Amino acid sequence: MDKWENNRAWFLVLPVFFIVAFSAIIPLMTVVNYSVQDIFGPGQRVFVGTEWFEEVLGDKRLHDALWRQFLFSGLVLLIEIPLGVVIALLMPKKGWGASASLVILALPLLIPWNVIGTIWIIFTRPDIGLLGAAINTMGIAFDHTASPIQAWITLMFMEVWHWTPLVALLAYAGLQAIPEAYYQAAKIDGASAWSTFKYIQLPKMRGVLTIAVLLRFMDSFLIYAEPFVLTGGGPGNTTTFLSIYLVKIAVGQFDLGPAAAFSLIYFLIVLLFSWLFYQALQNVGKGDVK
Amino acid sequence: MGLTLEKLDKIVGQEVHLKDIDLHFEPGSRNVILGRTLAGKTSLLRILAGLDRPTRGRLLINGEDYTGVTVRKRSVAMVYQQFINYPSMTVYRNIASPLLLAKLDTAEIDRKVRQAAEMLHIEHLLDRLPAELSGGQQQRTAIARALVKDAQLLLLDEPLVNLDYKLREELRIELQAIFERRESIVVYTTTEPAEALMLGGNIVVMDEGRVLQTGATPDVYHHPGTLKVAEVFSDPPINYLQGAVSGGRASFGEGIQIPLSGHLADLTDGDYMFGLRCNHLFLARRNPDDIELSARVTLSEINGSETFIHIVHGQDGLVVQDEGIHPVKIGSALSVFVNPSRLFVYNGGGELVASPVQGRY
């Protein structure tokens, strides 16, 4: 009797199993399949073991792209998280101002990624772009297609403009969830604005900020559309991030084996860092998590 | 001396939160503010604390005008309905936080924190974080933080509402003992008449932003000055029977007539409302002079170890509080018994003209 009931439990899990299999496991295994074989055509395949992995791991250009990627994601987090929190703190708590600022904040989030690239290409063009032309008339030579630093600055600007609102919205939601009584208690205790932020607002925002850091890390680590549209990875290779390099190998050179190996490594890196961030944020000064 | 409110109003936009508040709290007194939700209890506490400014009127502390003085410059501690603690600090740091801000020396802080923790039986939890505590323990921490401050004014805004029944009873008894030993003015708000009676001291009955009646808690309970006070200060709300007095007899309900005697003897002719608390209605005759009311049951609810039976007698809906759990069929006929000596009598304006003499039972 017990055994029968256990078997029935397995049937109940089956639908989930199929969905996960088709949405995640099977596609992932296809990539694994490519990463360990050299495929010339239908029926012509050679098992190559870890050869592609070794090749990719030894690739100097991949190392460069990886460091570039870490620098980019690190800067993104350093700018977007504090900026988002500051914006959330400055936003009105209620009334029409709250609704208005929410709508304005949400605008960049509604624009498709490739359109963002196009908008900023036009916006920063030195000849006709509003921003580009303005900077150039001020006497600063600005052209993101020529200078790597300026290409990076433009990209960071795009990224910050596009995604800080998400952090701000999350932080704002976290702030709104704090009962008014906490602020009263702090006032009665005679706490300063800084103490209130440090001991009430920040710990209370921990949950949403964890999500914000994870989302922004993963997303910026996978950035593709913006640099692809804006610079195509240039000037030189200075904005060739991991995904751009990956697409160059897979589509540009049609090296599916190394591209698959690369994809898997890429996936593992994102997974590892997301886990590390999650662990770190859960354990630092444990407070109100649940 | 003490704390005085003079002709105080609080108006936010078009809404009147408080109107014509005149109150005085003695140092060392225990004061209960009783009122239903939206009666203005929290608005009053916020003004007492100095979190809000009154729209009109003055607040005097020991004769000095403190109306516009910010909360930072006052000696106030407050406990809230929600369990408010600093989430990232341990219980110890939480309790110590007001003392740290006051820059006391470490040994003194340690002594006071441990004393407060001991008083609230949380000394074994000092290293925990608030998120790791139960609701009751979190509120104990918040109360300890308020007590440790030794403020002149200790405000508690329905502190036990969010706790379960058992914990509420427990903490209510402990709080009573703690308040007894303090020299500060304690102001405690509640919606529950039973809680107000238990805490004793003085009471302020509020409704719709106004003070209806003040006085020693038992006195107000036994002589609720208006129908509204009787309603707020009885749980379930007091029962009414429409009636009249003429020719030395009172009549009410379905043709019931009684001779005027005892506390009713001096009533003059006219229309009256007879008030009767639910615990003074019985399902069996207890005295020879009890009046029998025949009624029909409309609802029966079991509350803890009591049964509330809702009945209709003539035009009047009544609630009977019956000790013990007794299933009663809805729609069935029922006789309830009332002793005339338990009747509150209100005139047409809703003012008390006669109340039961105490000590009869």
- Tell me, yes or no, whether A10 lies in a domain: no
Q: Is B281 exposed, middle or buried (0-12, 13-18, 19+ CB in 10 A)?
A: buried
At B274, which helix (H) or strand (E)?
A: strand B270-276
| B130–A contact, CB cutoff 8 A | yes
Chain A residues inside the 8 Å CB shell of B141:
none
Helices (H), chain A: 2-20, 26-35, 51-57, 60-90, 96-110, 113-124, 130-137, 148-176, 180-189, 193-196, 202-221, 225-230, 242-247, 256-283
Within-domain flag for A19? no
Q: What is the CATH number of the domain that holds A149?
A: 1.10.3720.10
Q: What does each of the 361 residues of chain B score in pLDDT, given as a tens digit?
A: 688 888 889 888 888 889 888 999 988 889 999 998 888 888 899 888 888 889 988 888 888 888 888 887 888 899 998 888 888 889 999 999 888 888 888 899 999 999 889 888 888 999 999 888 988 899 999 999 998 888 889 999 999 888 888 888 888 888 888 888 888 899 999 998 988 988 888 999 999 889 999 999 989 998 998 988 998 898 888 888 888 888 888 888 888 888 888 888 888 888 888 888 888 888 888 888 888 888 899 988 888 788 899 998 888 888 988 888 888 888 888 889 988 888 899 988 888 888 888 754 4
Give the closest of B76, B86, B130 to A188, CB-based. B76
Name the residue of chain B whose CA is nearest to A188's CA: B71
Domain total of chain A: 1
Which chain A residue is nearest to residue B128, measuring alpha carbons? A287
Residue A20 is assigned to a structural domain of this protein: no
Contact criterion met (CB below 8 Å) for B6 and B63? no
Distance CA A264, CA A233 (A): 22
Flag whether A52 is in a domain: no
Rounded to 5°, the CA angle B233-B236-B242 comes to 85
Structural contact between residues B41 and B192, judged by C-beta atoms closer than 8 angstroms: no
Q: Which structural domain, as residue segments, surrounds residue A160? A: 59-283
Distance from CA of B148 to the nearest CA of A (A): 12
- List the domains of chain B with CATH numbers: 3-225 (3.40.50.300), 239-354 (2.40.50.140)
- In this complex, do B51 and A184 lie within 8 Å of one another by their Cβ atoms? yes
For residue A231, tell me if it sits in a domain: yes
Asked if residue A37 is part of any domain, the answer here is: no
CB within 8 Å: B131 and A290: yes
Cα separations in angstroms, B189 against A186, B46, B129, B225, B280: 21, 12, 28, 20, 27
- Rounded Cα–Cα distance for residues A214 and A281 (Å): 10
State both tokens at B186. Answer: 């304690």
Contact A252, A232 (CB under 8 A): no
Tell me the C-alpha distance between A125 and A36, whole Å: 45
Residue A22 lies in a domain: no
